[in-house]
Amino acid sequence: MNLSAPLIEAHIFRKKGNDIEFLMLKRAEKEIYPGFWQMVTGALKDENEKAYRTALREIMEETGLTPIQFWVVPHINSFYWVEKDSICQIPVFAALVESDSKVIISDEHSDFKWVDKNEAVELLAWKGQRESVEIVYEYFVHQQNFLKFVEIPLRDKKN
């Protein structure tokens, strides 16, 4: 058994007054876990692609959105990958988009919706994903200064 980190998790959110809403995507019927609600997920193209670049690419591919700010969340999701006999560690990212951004989902998904934190937590199947939502929410709504999100600078809006 080995450790691997071939996947990413990216939570897209927008501001709504003093609160935030999370973008949830429903898996298409032809995909693994059909009908499940999730955030943006994806795999590195190869061992040379950086995880944060994968997250930005997957956000664009799966939603058509371009973040205006982008962070590393101080949380690593993980699971045991039976087929590869591997512990998979998943870096987590948060992406702020404009409130009026138009979502264009890929064929990996059949639907999307913007939801509050409670509904996001209710929709997500796995504990690690729910924990990520809670961490993002605490930081951006309650501005918990003990949480240190590392912002990844976006050189240009097409990054």
Find out whether 68 and 154 touch, Cβ atoms under 8 Å.
Answer: yes
Helix (H, G, I), strand (E, B) or coil at 37: strand
Cα 33 versus chain centre, distance: 17
Which pLDDT tens digit goes with each residue over 26-80?
999 998 889 999 999 999 999 899 999 999 999 999 999 999 999 999 999 988 8
User: What domains, with CATH codes, occur in the chain?
Assistant: 2-151 (3.90.79.10)
Please give the pLDDT value at position 159.
47
H/E element holding 27?
strand 19-27
Q: Is the pLDDT of residue 148 over 80?
A: no
What is the Cα Rg of the chain in Å? 15
Q: Is the pLDDT of residue 146 over 70?
A: no
Which pLDDT tens digit goes with each residue over 73-111?
999 998 888 887 888 899 999 999 999 999 999 999 999
Of the candidates 23, 21, 22, 10, which has an alpha carbon nearest to the alpha carbon of residue 103? 23
pLDDT band at 113 (very low <50, low <70, confident <90, very high): very high
Q: Rounded to 5 degrees, what are φ and ψ at 14?
A: -135, 155
Give me the percent of the chain exceeding a pLDDT of 70. 94
Find out whether 36 and 121 touch, Cβ atoms under 8 Å.
Answer: no
Question: For the chain, how long is the longest CA-to-CA vector?
Answer: 47
Angle at 63 between CA 158 and CA 137, to 5 degrees: 95
Q: Which ranges constitute the DSSP H helices of the chain?
A: 51-63, 117-123, 127-142
Residue 15: HSE in the Cβ half-sphere, 13 Å Cα cutoff: 11
19-27 and 7-16 beta bridge pairing: antiparallel
